[in-house]
Chains A and B, each alone.
Chain A
């Protein structure tokens, strides 16, 4: 079955830049989406179509794509950004939705 691979954890100090990657063979053909999930809460969409930011999401959140890897970048990380982040995409034929395993962002 198709999988998206994320690092289990990323740690940054406040004000620094956090980069969270997501790798998958179908990513050159499929859009990626990113969600932020804080403890006890539902996921919230922060990036769609690789790099588009929904209204209400701070400008410090950005997305990019290169080959089989997509990256969520959080510039000027704030304490409130500490959360789990999940990428989402689909297999190459668009048969099913797949989520990455999630990355826990720790703000030191």
Chain B
């Protein structure tokens, strides 16, 4: 079955860019039919959707983060990546990657499966 694994630095300095990669195994990103998403969870808090990418490279971001977010895909490595610029302490969170089903019409799909998550701390 499809599995996802996040990787990247666990500590980022304020004002710098957070960079994470999600490696997909057990299935091909290029096969289509799904979006590939990033979601974060602030410590002790709820979930916040960051955005998704399709294997073709088309992206869609949470409007509240859009100005700082870039999601890219490398189909040759079966990976997709997140960059979040100008980070502050408020960006400290566990970052998850997940496969998102394609909704129909106005429906956004669901997330399954998820990676195990990686904690990123923003601190000098």
Contacts and interface: CB of A to CB of B under 8 A. Distances in A.
Nearest to A90: B108
B116 interface: yes
B106 A29 contact: yes
A86 B96 contact: no
Most chain A C-beta atoms within 10 Å of own C-beta, residue among B47, B63, B115: B47
A86 B39 CA distance: 13
A93 interface: yes
A94 interface: yes
A65 B116 CA distance: 30
A48 interface: yes
Nearest to B94: A42
A94 to B, nearest CB: 3
B34 interface: no
B89 to A, nearest CB: 21
Classify chain B's interface size: 20 to 34
B67 interface: no
A24 interface: no
Interface string B82-124: 0000000000000010000101011110111111110000000
A96 B116 CA distance: 23
B32 interface: no
B63 A43 contact: no
Contacts of B113: 45
A33 B101 CA distance: 12
B112 A99 contact: no
Given A94-B106, A94-B107, A42 B47 contact: no
16 contacts: A31-B107, A35-B47, A42-B117, A43-B114, A48-B110, A49-B110, A86-B47, A92-B106, A93-B106, A94-B105, A95-B63, A96-B62, A96-B63, A99-B46, A99-B47, A102-B46
Interface of A: 1, 29-31, 33, 35, 41-45, 48-49, 54, 86, 88-90, 92-102
